[in-house]
């Protein structure tokens, strides 16, 4: 019996999240794991948008910024529970993505890349300059989620690192599961069809603009939730989270691992999150190594690391 891509990906993720801690020599690795999962979640959104619908966004960090600052501001100003602030951030991101995407995605081509680039920069500027609200470039403290204390009362005592590792892992798992369900749904098929040929998709009666818009909104929610998780975990957030480089990082992770595959994208997130930790010894050459890795992957493994390797393995068997 052959496993479907969906069950193989989910099983792989579950095994990874559950078993990896057995190999952790210290609490620090929980932190790295949690970061990988947070980045993996954002990158899963990129897979839906870029890998399946074929649209490119260079402003997704803006949505992460909205998610992060929702968690920083809503509990203080409106007395909202941080968990609800995550939902609020996701809602605001979705509405904004809809407003930006609706006029832009009627056009054919790469207009979304430019529009989202501008949008991301605007969000970052607002976070930097609206000092009365966001406290500006020095950043702002974020309220405690409080879930860890609840778990402790229920008899499950986790260290801070462990708690965020498993929470982020579970959210990533849920995110990957939803994305993989979408992949096999009529909407997912339609998205992949329009990626293949927009003209053909239109000819068979698909509402191309609406489909692209759906993908953009969904991926914005993924980015927003990842930003929220980062803010709640760090308990402190600066406008850097919405910066242009963070947007580029998300796209790079997806492309490196394989933008058409959820598992591949999460793998890309893992590599690019781990590299700076492995490369601390030659921190000065970190950018150089990253660049070289990207160039080599683009030349030799054009679909991204995971899909290319899988193809090679299958190609040998078939």
Partner 1 sequence: MKTFLTTTALVALGLAAPALAEIRIGASISATGPAAFLGDPELKTLEMLVEELNAKGGINGEEIVLVAYDDNGDPNKARTFATRLVEDDEVVAIIGGTTTGTTMSILAVAEDAEIPFISLAGAIDIIDPVKPFTFKTPHTDRMACQKIFEDMQKNAITKIGMISGTDGFGASMQAQCKAVAPDYGIEIVADETYDPKDADMTAQLTKIKGTEGVQAVLNPGFGQGPSIVTRNYKQLDVGLPFYQSHGVASDGFIELAGAEAAEGVRLPGTALLVAGLLAADDPQKPVVDAYKAAFEEKTGTPVGTFGGYAHDAFLILTDAIARAGEAEPAAIRDAIEATTGLAGTTGVYSFTAEDHLGLDLSAFRMLEIKGGQWTLVE
Q: Binding residues for partner 1, per CB under 8 A? A: 16, 20, 23-29, 31-32, 35-36, 128-129, 131, 136-139, 141, 160-161, 230, 234-238, 240-241, 267, 270-271, 274, 276-278, 280-281, 283-284
Nearer to partner 1, 27 or 196 (CB): 27
**Taking the complex as a whole, how short is the minimal distance between the CB of residue 275 and partner 1, in angstroms?**
9
**Taking the complex as a whole, how short is the minimal distance between the CB of residue 115 and partner 1, in angstroms?**
23
**Taking the complex as a whole, how short is the minimal distance between the CB of residue 140 and partner 1, in angstroms?**
9
**Taking the complex as a whole, how short is the minimal distance between the CB of residue 159 and partner 1, in angstroms?**
9
Tell me, rounded to whole angstroms, the distance of Cα 249 from its chain centroid: 10
Nearest to 166 by CA among 12, 45, 31, 264: 31
Nearer to partner 1, 35 or 209 (CB): 35
**Taking the complex as a whole, how short is the minimal distance between the CB of residue 84 and partner 1, in angstroms?**
23
The whole-angstrom separation of Cα 157 and Cα 6 is 32
**Taking the complex as a whole, how short is the minimal distance between the CB of residue 104 and partner 1, in angstroms?**
27
Please answer whether residues 225 and 85 qualify as being in contact, where contact means their C-beta atoms are separated by less than 8 angstroms: no
The whole-angstrom separation of Cα 212 and Cα 238 is 31
Nearer to partner 1, 137 or 146 (CB): 137
Nearer to partner 1, 203 or 280 (CB): 280
Length of the chain: 318
Number of DSSP helices (H) and strands (E) in the chain, helices first: 15, 2
Nearer to partner 1, 216 or 263 (CB): 263
The upper half-sphere exposure of residue 204, i.e. CA atoms within 13 Å in the direction of its Cβ, equals 8
CA distances in angstroms from 183 to 94, 147, 178, listed in the order given: 20, 32, 9
The whole-angstrom separation of Cα 71 and Cα 312 is 44
Angle 161-163-166 from CA coordinates, rounded to 5°: 105
Tokens of 200: 């053909």
Nearer to partner 1, 198 or 240 (CB): 240
**Taking the complex as a whole, how short is the minimal distance between the CB of residue 137 and partner 1, in angstroms?**
4
**Taking the complex as a whole, how short is the minimal distance between the CB of residue 314 and partner 1, in angstroms?**
17
DSSP for 64-97, written as a single string: HHHHHHHHHHHHHHS---HHHHHHHHHHHHHHHH
Please answer whether residues 295 and 256 qualify as being in contact, where contact means their C-beta atoms are separated by less than 8 angstroms: no
The whole-angstrom separation of Cα 130 and Cα 6 is 43
Nearer to partner 1, 137 or 196 (CB): 137
Beta bridge pairs of residue 68 = none
Nearer to partner 1, 91 or 139 (CB): 139
């Amino acid at each position: 019996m052959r496993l479907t891509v969906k069950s193989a990906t989910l099983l792989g993720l579950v095994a990874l999240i559950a078993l990896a801690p057995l190999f952790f020599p210290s609490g620090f690795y929980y932190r790295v794991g949690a970061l990988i999962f947070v980045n993996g979640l954002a990158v899963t959104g990129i897979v839906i948008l870029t890998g399946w619908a074929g649209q490119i966004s260079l402003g997704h960090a803006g949505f992460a910024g909205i998610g992060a600052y929702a968690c920083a501001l809503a509990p203080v100003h409106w007395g909202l529970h941080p968990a609800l602030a995550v939902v609020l951030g996701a809602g605001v991101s979705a509405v904004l993505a809809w407003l930006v995407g609706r006029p832009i995605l009627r056009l054919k081509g790469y207009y979304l890349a430019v529009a989202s680039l501008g949008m991301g920069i605007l969000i970052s500027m607002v976070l930097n300059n609206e000092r009365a609200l966001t406290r500006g470039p020095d950043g702002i403290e974020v309220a405690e989620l409080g879930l860890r204390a609840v778990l402790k009362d229920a008899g499950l005592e986790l260290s801070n690192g462990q708690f965020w590792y498993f929470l982020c892992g579970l959210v990533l798992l849920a995110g990957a599961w939803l994305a993989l369900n979408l992949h096999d749904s009529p909407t997912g098929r339609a998205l992949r069809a329009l990626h293949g040929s927009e003209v053909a998709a239109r000819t068979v009666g698909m509402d191309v603009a609406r489909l692209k818009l759906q993908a953009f909104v969904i991926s914005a929610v993924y980015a927003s939730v990842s930003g929220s998780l980062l803010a709640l975990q760090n308990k402190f957030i600066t406008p850097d989270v919405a910066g242009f480089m963070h947007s580029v990082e998300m796209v790079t992770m997806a492309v490196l691992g394989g933008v058409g595959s959820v598992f591949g994208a999460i793998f890309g997130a893992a590599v690019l999150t781990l590299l700076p930790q492995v490369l601390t010894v030659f921190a000065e050459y970190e950018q150089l190594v990253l660049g070289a890795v990207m160039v080599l992957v683009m030349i030799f493994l054009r679909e991204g690391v995971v899909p290319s390797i899988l193809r090679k393995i299958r190609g040998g068997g078939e």
